[in-house]
Amino acid sequence: MKFGALLARAWNLYRTHFVLIAMITVIVWLPGDLLEGYLEKYVFGVDNFQFSFQFSNFYTCCIGIIATGGILALLEHAAIGEKLTLAQAMIQGLENWGRLWFAGLVLGVLSIAGLVLLILPGMILMVRCSLLSALVVRNRVTGMKAVRLSFAYTKGYFWRLLWWFAVVILAGISFSMIISFLSNLAFNWWIINVATTVLGDMALAFWTVFMWVVYDEILTHGDAEELTPKSWLPI
């Protein structure tokens, strides 16, 4: 698997389904972005980074995963030649909510434990579980079973995954920061800042598409190993 080919496939999927991806993103993220923008402007203050961080994490973990589940379901159906409507994608996003939330909770606990004990185990865990959402939606599993499957499927891919995801995530974050900076430079209206935040959410949706492409390529063309205890240990 070559990084350029993965990016090209992900971009083609993102571009082809952009309207539906954008609509899912707006429906799920706009209410949270509006609420956060209003509270920052009129209640907590725009310099209260603790509130922004806590609210963003809460919304991502509890609400944002609906968009993740819907987009992943859209890609799964597109892979077999089926098209989902917006309503169908949203319904599947809601259906996947419980599995995604519980898998994320388990991963969060393990990641915190790994980072507390030592930084390296936490980093390895996060990279080896970076495909967790795509795995949960396709395999319809959650919790520790999903984590174990993620370790089995990503064995031997650690350094490539670390490099690929670092590039894509940094590019997405940079794009979002540029949009936010330009909006703050040109306007001082919180509603405009909310609009640019939603644009950033749409850009970051590419991460979900790329994650699905990598997972699909590993299953289709890779050499994912059987689930065995030794799959947990080596990078």
Q: Indicate the domain borders of the chain.
A: 3-214
DSSP the chain: --HHHHHHHHHHHHHHTHHHHHHHHHHHHHHHHHHHHHHIIIII-TT-HHHHHHHHHHHIIIIIHHHHHHHHHHHHHHHTT----HHHHHHHHHHTHHHHHHHHHHHHHHHHHHHHH-HHHHHHHHHHTTTHHHHHHHHT--HHHHHHHHHHHTTT-HHHHHHHHHHHHHHHHHHHHHHHHHHHHH---HHHHHHHHHHHHHHHHHHHHHHHHHHHHHHHHS-PPP--GGGGS--
Find all residues with CB under 8 Å of 91, minimum gap 6, and list them: none
Spans of the chain below 70 pLDDT: 46, 114-122, 176, 179-180, 182-189, 222-235
pLDDT of amino acid 117: 62
Q: What is the pLDDT of residues 158-197, one digit of tens each?
A: 888 888 888 877 887 777 677 667 666 655 667 777 787 8
Q: What is the pLDDT of residues 29-58, one digit of tens each?
A: 999 988 888 887 777 776 777 777 788 888
Residue % of the chain over a pLDDT of 90: 36
pLDDT of amino acid 180: 65
